[in-house]
A and B are shown apart, each in its own frame.
Chain A
Amino acid sequence: MDTLKRRLLDFTIIFGLWLLLTWSLDWQGLIVGAILAVLIAFFLSGLLPEKAGRLFSPVRWFWALVHMALLSFWIIVANFDVLYRVVHPNLPIRPGIVKIKTTLKSDQAKAFLANSITLTPGTLTVDVIGDSLYVHWINVHERLEDTEAMTRDIAGRFESTLRRVFD
């Protein structure tokens, strides 16, 4: 997708967001919104990555919805997990920062994987370096050196849907 098209898409997204936030078709609001959207879309570095054409792929949107459903489920589980650990009198935690490897390629996929990991039970992404994710885990299990098993436990549930959305 060439740069101009990408910038026009940026403009559409920003202006659409403005319309939703102001929720009025008053002409003064429209003019201010249009000026701001032009400034942001054309004078700052773009919002959308190189391969923005993927935004128009219905299959990718379908998998994005699947990912959202999966994520919602794990967010609810995560909340009951925190509830259990926090109200338990003995505070059952065994924390530490572990390293896992992801097979996802694009930056967007890694960013969404990192955010998804943060919202799921007991894990918080501290940093992403290359294909390694450093994850603070509230209840590290015994096999400390087994990177593959930990990757499966922490990232496995999201990698397949995110790969279908982004890679």
Chain B
Amino acid sequence: MNSGVVPYILISIGVFFDLVGAIGLLRLPDVYNRLQAATKCVTLGTCLILVGVLVHSGWNAMGIKALLAAVFVLWTSPTGSHALARGAHIAGVPLWERSVVDKYREDTGH
């Protein structure tokens, strides 16, 4: 399919937000804040790259796989970060010392 420049724009924006997520992973102070950056930016970034692949290759084997992968990323990435955050909290990973509140510890005692 001849779709011109559109897929390259989508993929570039996707790579840019993946990069923002990576910078967030380095700059933010604790595991919970880092998960925030990683989840949001990597979800949008990766989905945009996959949609770019779909636009580039059209409705064939590759495009459909890319679309399904985007749906699965959208579905599983927040679930995965929930599991990581919950696991980290139960395992006793502390919040950043300048965090203002931890209701989860108050209520569950983890």
Contact = CB atoms under 8 A, between A and B. Distances in A.
Interface residues of A, number: 42
A44 interface: no
Interface string A138-150: 1010001000000
Nearest to A145: B101
Contacts of B6: none
Contacts of A116: 78
A118 B100 contact: no
A96 B32 CA distance: 9
A20 B103 contact: no
A124 B104 CA distance: 13
B100 A126 contact: no
Contact of B36 (A23, A82, A144): A82
B102 A97 contact: yes
Given A114-B82, A119-B78, A122-B36, A95 B65 contact: no
Interface stretch (A7-15, A31-39, A48-56, A71-79): A71-79
A95 B82 CA distance: 16
Which of A21, A87, A96, A99 has the largest number of chain B CB atoms within 10 A? Answer: A96
B28 interface: yes
Contacts of A1: none
Contact of B24 (A86, A95, A121, A132): A86
Given A82-B36, A91-B27, A95-B99, A75 B43 contact: yes
> Chain B interface mostly helix, strand, loop or mixed?
helix
Interface string B53-64: 000000011001
B44 A79 contact: yes
Interface string B8-21: 00000000010011
A77 B74 CA distance: 16
Contact of A79 (B20, B30, B75): B20
Interface of B: 17, 20-21, 23-24, 27-30, 32-33, 35-37, 39-41, 43-44, 60-61, 64-65, 68, 74-75, 78-79, 81-82, 85-86, 89, 95-96, 98-105, 107-108
Interface of A: 17, 20-21, 23-24, 75-76, 78-79, 81-83, 85-87, 91, 93-99, 114-116, 118-119, 121-127, 129, 132, 134, 136, 138, 140, 144
